[in-house]
Amino acid sequence: MKKLIAVLLTLVIVAAFAACGGNTEETTVAVEETTAAVEETTVAGDETTEAVEDTTAAAEETTEAVEETTEAVEETTEAVEETTAA
């Protein structure tokens, strides 16, 4: 009886290993697809970072232009006030 139970348990274990062992190809394909997706996401993230840096640089240039325009308007306003007062 003990030998019969041992043989049955051995067969169950072998069947379980056989059932689990057949998915290695599918797992490999899934890992490769995931790796490719991660690489694409990384590239997209790098492109987004570059776009943000470009936008930040453009915003800084715009801020400088606004400051220069504000100074010019203030100088013009002072000149008009001096001309009006004279």
Domain spans in the chain, listed from the N-terminal domain onward: 27-86
Continuous segment of H or E residues that includes residue 86: none
Q: How far apart are CA 62 and CA 7, in angstroms?
A: 81
Q: For the chain, list residues with pLDDT below 50.
A: none
pLDDT at 11: 78
Non-local CB neighbours of 43 within 8 Å, separated by 6+ positions: none
Q: How far apart are CA 77 and CA 86, in angstroms?
A: 14
